[in-house]
Amino acid sequence: MKQLLLLSSIVITNAIFSQGITLTSIDFANGGDTVRTSLATDNGNDYAATGAAYTWDFSMLTANSQKLRNFSPMTEAPLFVQFLFGFSAPNQYRASYFIESTDLPISQITSILPITIENIYQYSKVMTDSITSVGYSMKVTLNGSTVDLPIKSDTIETRYNLPLNYGDSHFSRGFSKIDFNPLYNAIWNQHRTRTTTVDGYGTLITPNGTFDVLRVKHDITETDSIYTELPFIGGTWIPLDLPLVHEYEWWANGEKLPVLKYTTNEVLGNEVVSAVEYRDQYLGLDAGIEELGIEMNMYPNPVKDVLHIQADLQVSQIDVTDQLGNIVSSQELIPADELFLDVSKLAAGTYIVNVYAGSIKATQLFVKQ
C-alpha cells in the first residue's frame, strides 16, 4: 500500500511539473522598472509553432537596435494625470506605472483631423489577479494651442489574468472615448477585444540565453471611429482601417517583459511580421548598435502609400531593406524634421527602415499593405 501511495505521489508530482512554469504579478514589470530589449528582423522562424514541452530555437536572431523601456511610477506623472490615475483616483483606476505607447492609430486620426498628437502614454495597473490598461494621456495641438489630455478607459481592458498557467485562456474588452473638445469638435472612440491563450510551454533559446517559458498568444481586434463635422455633410462617424493583430509572447519567471515577442498584422488574410523584440543585455558600440541614439517615430504601420518618419536628430541617410537585406530604397542628406517615404510601389510584406544621423543608427520594421 505504501509503495502504491508513493507511486501515485510521484505520478501526481510529475504531472504538475510537466505543465511548465507559473507566472504571477512579480514576473511582470511595475513602476520604477527598466527593461532592455533588442529589436531584430524576422529570419523565417516558425513563431506560430507551439505545444507542450516544446523547444523553440530563435538563437539566430540578430539585433538591429536596442531600447531601454522605462516603466515610470505614478509619482513622476503630471498633476493633471495623477488626479485621474494617482492615489486619489478610484481603486480600479489607480495605475501602477505609465509607459510610452506607439500602438495607437495616430496617423489615421491626424489625417482626418487638423491636429497634432504626441507624448502618448499608456497607464497600467498591476494586481495579484490581473494586469489592466486603465487609460492614456496625450498632448494635442491645434494652431499653436496645446491641451494635455488624460483619458480614462470607460471599459478597462484586462491584458493578463493571473496567475498564468499552461492551458489558461481569457477574453477581455476595452473601450475608451477621447473627446477633443473644446480644442476641436471631434470624438475618437476606441473599441478593443483581446483573446488570450497560454498555448505552450517548454524551452526557449534566444541570443541572450536559454529560458523555461510559457507561450502566450493574444488576438487583438480594434474597431475605432472618429466623429467630426465634414463640409456639405455635417456631423458624421468615420471608421478607421485597422488590421487584426496577433502577439506571440514567450515569458520566463522574473524577466518583467516577454523574453521574446513576435507581433504580426493580418494583411489580405495572411500574417505579416511587424515587430520582433527580445530581452537582451547591453550590446555596446562594438556590436554596431548605439541604443537610444535616435528617438524615432514612424507611422502609419502598416502603410499603403506614404511612410512618415520623425526623428529628434538631423538625419543624414535612410535605407529601406527587404527581409533578405536588399536595399529597395535610399535617401541621403535629408534636412527636415519629418520625412516622407513613398512606398506605394513596394510589394506587400515586411521591410526594415535604417535611419542614420552620422554614426548613430536606429532601425524599425514596417509592414507594406
Q: Are 126 and 166 a contacting pair, CB within 8 Å? A: no
Q: What is the mean pLDDT of the chain?
A: 86
Mean pLDDT of 269-276: 91
Q: Is the peptide bond before 243 cis (omega within 30 degrees of 0)?
A: no
Mean pLDDT of 257-283: 91
SS (H, E, C) the chain: CHHHHHHHHHHHHHHHHCCCCCECHHHECCCCCEEEEEEECCCCCCCCCCCCCEEEECCCCCEEEEEEEECECHHHCCHHHHHHHCCCCCHHHCCCEEEECCCCCHHHHHHHCCCEEEEEEEEEEECCCEEEEEEEEEEEEECCEEEEEEEEEEEEEEEEECCECCCCEEEEEEEEEEECCCCCCCEEEEEEEEEEEEEEEEEEEECCEEEEEEEEEEEEEEEEEEEEEECCCEEEEEECCCCCEEEEEEECCCCECCCEEEEEEEECCEEEEEEEEEECCCCCHHHCCCCCCCCEEEECCCECCEEEEEECCCCCEEEEECCCCCEEEEEECCCCCEEEEECCCCCCEEEEEEEEECCEEEEEEEEEC
List, in order, residues 6 or more apart from 232 with CB less than 8 Å away.
none
What pLDDT does 190 receive?
A: 97
Mean pLDDT of 330-356: 79
Render pLDDT for 237-263 as a digit per residue (tens, 0 to 9): 999 989 999 999 999 999 999 999 999
pLDDT confidence tier of residue 116, bands split at 50, 70 and 90: very high
Mean pLDDT of 101-113: 86
Mean pLDDT of 82-91: 93
Give dist(CA 94, CA 134) in Å, integer. Answer: 8
Give dist(CA 70, CA 6) in Å, integer. Answer: 49
Window from 40-44, 142-146, 189-193, 332-336 with minimum mean pLDDT: 332-336
What pLDDT does 115 receive?
A: 93
Q: Percent of the chain beyond pLDDT 90?
A: 53
Cell numbers that stand for 354 in this block: 535604417
Report whether CATH 2.60.40.1930 matches the domain 293-369: yes
Looking up cell 509572447 gives 249
What pLDDT does 5 receive?
A: 46
Cell numbers that stand for 292 in this block: 537610444
Degrees (nearest 5) of the Cα angle 231, 237, 242? 120
Per-residue b or e along 156-180, where b marks 16 or more CB atoms closer than 10 Å to that residue's CB: bbbbbbbebebebeeebebebebeb
Q: Are 263 and 250 a contacting pair, CB within 8 Å? A: no
Mean pLDDT of 117-137: 96
Mean pLDDT of 330-345: 76
SS (H, E, C) 115-127: CEEEEEEEEEEEC
What are the residue ranges spanned by the domains of the chain?
A: 24-292, 293-369
Model pTM greater than 0.85? no
Give the residue with greater pLDDT, 345 vs 362: 345
pLDDT confidence tier of residue 323, bands split at 50, 70 and 90: low
Q: Percent of the chain beyond pLDDT 70?
A: 88
Q: Is the peptide bond before 302 cis (omega within 30 degrees of 0)?
A: yes
What pLDDT does 210 receive?
A: 96
Window from 190-199, 243-252, 271-280 with minimum mean pLDDT: 271-280
